[in-house]
Amino acid sequence: MSFQPSCAALASSAARTFASPTPSARKARFFALTPLALCFAQAAMAQQAAAPAVDPTSNANVTAPQLQEVRINASTEKDMGFAPVEAQTAGKAPMRRLETPQSVSVVTREQMESRQIVNVQQALQTVAGVSPVNFGRRGFDDINIRGFRSTESILVDGLVQSPGMWAKLQPYGYERFEVLKGSASVLYGQVQPGGIVNAVSKRPKKDALNEVGVEVGSFGQRTLQADVNKPLSESGKTALRINAQVSNADDPTQFVYRKDRWFAPSLSIDLGAQTDLVLFATYSRSEWMRQQGITPYGTLLPNRNGTLSRTMFTGDPAFGVYDVESTTLGYALEHKVSDAMTFRQNVRYETEKGTGNFVSNQALQANQRLQNRQASRQYMDYDLLATDTSMLTRFEALGAKHQIVTGLDVRSGHSLLASRTCRIGALDLFAPVYGMQAVCPTALTSDAPAKLSVAGLYAQDQIKFGQGWTALVGLRRDWSTNDTDNRVANTQTRQKDSATTLSAGLVYEFKPGWAAYGSYGESFLPQSGLTFAGSPFVPETGKQWEAGVKYESPNGQLTGALAVFDLVRENVTTADLANTGFSVQTGQQRARGLEVELGADMKNGWKLTSAYTYTQSKVTRDNNAAIVGLPLNLTPRHTLTAWATYKLPQYQRITLGMGGRYVSEQIGSYPFTLPSYVVADASISYAGDNYRVTAGVKNVFNKAYYDGAINANVVSPALPRSFNLGVTYFF
């Protein structure tokens, strides 16, 4: 009986430590939360000790009791293939996609391996609603969902990352990516309106699994990677898993390269049948030369001096590179309080430090030959403690089945992105000379460390009632405080925001495997900055209506979904016409569209994932009258993508892969249009008894195209044809 008060006291102590403003509390917060894990460890061990002992010498024919394991992220073991039927992002618990009144897509590990993807952008190319946006190979993941930027809404295991995290995710370390489209603030708080990406990490399994792989490819790609899972107990609940990857690659653009070192151990601990505890950590170190793209004049638009090479480097290699180091440390805890209640707590502490040096393009000079440039030196220092503590409860009442998740989402972190803005000479695009001396000021151009504290209370109920009806209703209340110390202007500001968001949806499975649904959702995202009058900006908000039809075959071999949506983004900053250099939040943007997805795992050897997206976006309100009514930049009207694999019936060890994507022209406020393009990919793999060999080619026909633009001065050439050969050995 003493267990419950003890845990309550520790939880209260942890909350007080978290809220403490003292500097020492910053380092103590992570450790202050861990006694909660110890509470449940004590409970599990006490329960284990109370179990009756079994006489190993007895010959009695007695069946040992089968203990039910909680198994954190249990759905990952089901989500292989191209037609997964479950996802957990929409409910912070495994839910049938058919019963989810919102679009949610899943990219499984099998899909990623068959396509030999090397970054998140490639992984999401087959997902409806995700735009193939590219801001140059600048070193981190850029994502647009349903017309709106979602780069800062990439979650890891359901926890939001620091907004300043510049490190790219290594897809090799994740079981799958789930994309929840549209406004999703009820469960995840401060996120962008288009949707979120949830990366689900590889975690220890009860069965041994060991692999080591080598990949080589075009443009100097060399990768060595390993995934080792070792059970440490007879039950397999205590297990160690280590993922590691070392990768070096050059680039079609001269001087551009990237080096990544990534290491991710995780340890599950057997605390009894009712408790799962996984400890995890990651370490990454990346060095890269940033590729900013190239001027549109001489590429997409005419240049009186001639045509430019798409692989030209417009920066300066002598100015320096990016060098960023990041670490994470945390745990995931689940304790089955009863058959109907499960307590969960996810905790992650992350840091990121480094420097970044890059040269960016400014306006092209009138002679269309000399490219004006600006050089920047950046100094990054971020940390974030993110916690999500929730209770998952299942019960029946008044003829309905409920699955309720209630929780407290708390984050606190410090961020610093200081910089020096330097002067560097213009580059002659038709006779480039590198090694120009940059002149940097002694004092920092920007230096404004900030501290962000966020807390959110949320509840969401999945209600099953009647014959085939499912409702999903959620409510959240958020509070955030952002303290900024501008050491250049010698000013200190505090910005406080709060918001209440809600979501509601209804699904009707009108015949087995077929369901129709409708939903409404809201999002909010605080904005830093002040108006001319000195008032802080209010949060941006998003509101979405969505309706659709979903299908799941009885054997789970085929899944499909059709969705239509109407998404509005409010409080968008736009130029203050009365006060030059200031902004007001009178802008509004809108995206409407249709999405179709199909996944298939057929018994005849075929597997398929495909998607079609129609998006009609536009600026509906802005102080710049010239862009009102225009489509949002980098949002194609039509996107069609497909990828299929086929296992040869005569040679079962050989699998062929083929696919491609069509992207229509992208028109916005830029003085150019990105033309439409079609790109094809292919692969072939051979599975031996304990090894696999895969060869692939991307952009088979070497299509020259542009898949993004940074601004009116810079377009981003896509990668030309590239080859890849990988060998994986299983032991």
If you average pLDDT over residues 545-552, what whole number do you get? 98
How would you classify residue 74: left for phi > 0, otherwise alpha for psi between -120 and 50, otherwise beta?
alpha
Is the pLDDT confidence value at 36 over 90?
no
- The residues pairing with 692 across neighbouring beta strands, listed in sequence order, are 687, 728
What is the CATH code for 34-47+70-730?
A: 2.40.170.20
Is the pLDDT confidence value at 27 over 60?
no
Tokens found for residue 317: 């290699």
Q: Count CB neighbours of 435 within 10 A.
A: 8
Query: Closest by alpha carbon to 614, among 634, 591, 644?
Result: 591
* Cβ–Cβ < 8 Å for 450, 484: yes
The Cα 122–Cα 126 span in angstroms is: 8
Looking at residue 140, what is its pLDDT?
82
* Cβ–Cβ < 8 Å for 618, 568: no
Looking at residue 269, what is its pLDDT?
96
Could you write out the DSSP letters of every residue in 99-124? G-SS-EEEEEHHHHHHHT--SHHHHG
Looking at residue 45, what is its pLDDT?
37
Looking at residue 50, what is its pLDDT?
37
Is the pLDDT confidence value at 512 over 60?
yes
The Cα 712–Cα 361 span in angstroms is: 10
Is the pLDDT confidence value at 689 over 70?
yes
pLDDT in tens, 316-338: 999 999 999 999 999 999 999 99
The Cα 284–Cα 351 span in angstroms is: 11
Three-state DSSP class for 311?
A: coil
- The residues pairing with 717 across neighbouring beta strands, listed in sequence order, are 706
Looking at residue 164, what is its pLDDT?
65
How do strand 427-428 and strand 714-717 relate by DSSP bridges? unpaired
If you average pLDDT over residues 594-606, what whole number do you get? 96
Three-state DSSP class for 269?
A: strand
Three-state DSSP class for 28?
A: helix
Looking at residue 283, what is its pLDDT?
97
Alpha carbon separation from 437 to 36, 295, 446, 554, 617 (Å, rounded): 56, 22, 22, 67, 44
The Cα 615–Cα 566 span in angstroms is: 10
The Cα 43–Cα 690 span in angstroms is: 42
Find all residues with CB under 8 Å of 465, minimum gap 6, and list them.
399, 400, 401, 471
Surface-to-core class of residue 446, CB atoms within 10 Å of its CB (0-12 exposed, 13-18 middle, 19+ buried): middle
pLDDT in tens, 79-106: 589 999 999 999 999 999 999 999 999 9
Angle (CA) 539-20-350 rounded to 5° is: 65
Largest Cα–Cα distance in the chain? 94
Query: Closest by alpha carbon to 659, among 103, 109, 111, 105?
Result: 111
pLDDT in tens, 399-426: 999 999 999 999 999 999 999 999 999 9
Looking at residue 25, what is its pLDDT?
44
* Cβ–Cβ < 8 Å for 164, 417: yes
Calculate what percentage of the chain has a pLDDT beyond 70.
Answer: 89
* Cβ–Cβ < 8 Å for 145, 634: no
Query: Closest by alpha carbon to 44, among 333, 292, 240, 279?
Result: 333
Place of tokens 């489209």: 181
Q: Give me the count of residues in the chain.
A: 731
Query: Closest by alpha carbon to 162, among 326, 23, 282?
Result: 326
Alpha carbon separation from 239 to 66, 233, 234, 724 (Å, rounded): 19, 7, 10, 33
Looking at residue 78, what is its pLDDT?
54
- The residues pairing with 565 across neighbouring beta strands, listed in sequence order, are 546, 593
Question: 304-313 b/e with 16+ CB inside 10 Å = b?
Answer: eeeebebebb
Instruction: Kindly report the average pLDDT of the chain as a whole number.
Output: 89
If you average pLDDT over residues 50-78, what whole number do you get? 40
Residue 172 phi/psi, 5° resolution? Answer: -60, -25
pLDDT in tens, 442-484: 999 999 999 999 999 999 999 999 999 999 999 999 999 999 9
The band of 581, judged by pLDDT with boundaries at 50, 70 and 90, is confident
Looking at residue 138, what is its pLDDT?
83
The Cα 477–Cα 353 span in angstroms is: 32
Alpha carbon separation from 496 to 476, 484, 526, 661, 705 (Å, rounded): 17, 11, 9, 44, 44
Tokens found for residue 537: 């900006």
Is the pLDDT confidence value at 268 over 50?
yes
* Cβ–Cβ < 8 Å for 168, 284: no
The band of 54, judged by pLDDT with boundaries at 50, 70 and 90, is very low
The band of 67, judged by pLDDT with boundaries at 50, 70 and 90, is very low
* Cβ–Cβ < 8 Å for 78, 86: yes
Predicted structure pTM score:
0.88
The band of 588, judged by pLDDT with boundaries at 50, 70 and 90, is very high
The beta-carbon contacts of 240-246 under 8 Å, at least 24 apart in sequence, are: 240/204, 240/265, 240/266, 240/267, 241/202, 241/203, 241/204, 241/205, 241/265, 241/266, 241/267, 242/266, 243/172, 243/173, 243/202, 245/170, 245/172, 245/173
* Cβ–Cβ < 8 Å for 255, 317: yes
Q: Where are the domains of the chain?
A: 1-33, 34-47+70-730
Q: Count CB neighbours of 52 within 10 A.
A: 5
If you average pLDDT over residues 191-202, what whole number do you get? 95
Alpha carbon separation from 305 to 159, 365, 715 (Å, rounded): 51, 12, 18
Could you write out the DSSP letters of every residue in 360-379? EEEEEPTTSSEEEEEEEEEE
Q: Running DSSP on this structure, what letter comes out for residue 467?
A: T
Looking at residue 79, what is its pLDDT?
56
Is the pLDDT confidence value at 75 over 60?
no
Q: Count CB neighbours of 266 within 10 A.
A: 23
* Cβ–Cβ < 8 Å for 516, 507: yes
Looking at residue 142, what is its pLDDT?
87
Q: Between these two residues, 43 and 328, which has the higher pLDDT value? A: 328
- Could you tell me the sign of the dihedral formed by the alpha carbons of 100, 102, 103, 108, in that order? negative
If you average pLDDT over residues 57-62, what whole number do you get? 38
The Cα 275–Cα 518 span in angstroms is: 36
The Cα 77–Cα 236 span in angstroms is: 15
Q: In what helix (H) or strand (E) does residue 286 lie, and over which residues does it extend? A: strand 275-288
Q: In what helix (H) or strand (E) does residue 29 lie, and over which residues does it extend? A: helix 23-33
Is the pLDDT confidence value at 552 over 90?
yes
Is the pLDDT confidence value at 20 over 50?
no
How do strand 148-149 and strand 154-156 relate by DSSP bridges? unpaired
Looking at residue 118, what is its pLDDT?
92
Alpha carbon distance, N-terminus to C-terminus of the chain = 48
Q: Please name the amino acid found at residue 547.
A: A
Residue 11 phi/psi, 5° resolution? Answer: -65, -40
The Cα 155–Cα 188 span in angstroms is: 9
Calculate what percentage of the chain has a pLDDT beyond 90.
Answer: 82
